[in-house]
Amino acid sequence: MAKRLRAYLAFMEKMKDKEMTEEERKEFLTQMLIQIQFFQHERFIHLIVTVCFALLLMLTLLGCILAPDLSLFALAVIIFGVLAFYIKHYYLLENGVQKLYVYYDQIQQKHFHVP
């Protein structure tokens, strides 16, 4: 998904200043909203998974405190590693969707000729 988002952002960078007829711009904005919804859905799912892993890490660390065990500590380290990757991916999704909002606003303002 990260590769797809980066490619779409690069595409949007090229398209934001392209001259379009009013009808082409309406269609482009409609298609753009569909893509934004896909990325928003992906972002929401990753938020849920990230929060679940964070809670799992907290419970595992609590278990390490209450009943110190090497296997629980190893599990906490593994969960922390996975959580770090999920946070990195969620960060990319969040910032990418925010950039898409900016591109959408720029293209829409051109459509409605707002200064």
* Contacts of residue 46, Cβ cutoff 8 Å, sequence gap at least 6: 86, 89, 90, 93
Specify the pLDDT at position 114. 46
pLDDT of residue 109: 82
Closest C-alpha to 97, from 28, 50, 44, 49:
44
Predicted model pTM: 0.79
How many Cβ atoms are within 10 Å of 75's Cβ, its own excluded? 17
For residues 62, 68, 69 and 70, what is the CA-based torsion angle, rounded to 10 degrees?
Answer: 90
Between 91 and 22, where is the model more confident? 91
